[in-house]
Amino acid sequence: MKNTIKILCSLLITGMISSGLQAQESVNATGGDASGSGGSASYSVGQVVYTTNTGTNGSVAQGVQQPYEISVVTQVEEAAEIQLSMLVYPNPTTETVVLNIGTMSTENMHLSMFDVNGKLLHFQEVINSETIIDMKSYSRGVYFLKVNFQNREVKTFKIIKH
């Protein structure tokens, strides 16, 4: 009986080796790691499966052909006296984006550009109603442009660089 089990195991192992073991494989366009106070996650763009996982703190979608979003990420409710008429265009971009603050005062206003890991890439004061931000030196990906007015964050824009 022991010999039969040994022979079957040997045949099984030989069969797996000769057939060439293969794991799941995907060709990813990009990916990386993201972490924050709530935990961390690894991600890739170009996966072969599409699923959505939902929890009490939000949801995560993974898979192919994820749409890009052009949206305002945050808006401070307590800054009701500030007219939030800011625009960032073109988005997605390849070279530059323009922050247009309309008729708002630029006194004590500045902007900060962050990557998806939260690393500060660019900081400058806003002097004019239109500020051009050079994106040529940044690699393709998603960035966050935060606008602060009188030391309060008033808007965060999600910028997509192609």
Structural domain spans, the chain = 72-161
53: enclosing H helix or E strand: strand 51-55
Q: Confirm if 49 and 62 have CB atoms less than 8 A apart.
A: yes
Question: Nearest to residue 88, comparing CAs of 140, 134, 130?
Answer: 130
| pLDDT for position 82 | 44
What CATH number is given for 72-161 in this structure? 2.60.40.1930
Q: Confirm if 41 and 34 have CB atoms less than 8 A apart.
A: yes
What are the angstrom distances between the C-alpha of 144 and each of 9, 11, 26, 82, 103?
Answer: 55, 56, 28, 21, 23
The number of residues making up the chain comes to 162
Q: Find the angle CA(138)-CA(73)-CA(58) to the nearest 5 degrees.
A: 110
Q: Which two tokens stand for residue 59?
A: 């949801």
Confidence of residue 79 (pLDDT cuts 50, 70, 90): very low
Q: pTM surpassing 0.85? A: no
Structure letter (DSSP) for residue 81: T
Confidence of residue 125 (pLDDT cuts 50, 70, 90): very high
The predicted model gives 96-123 an average pLDDT of 89
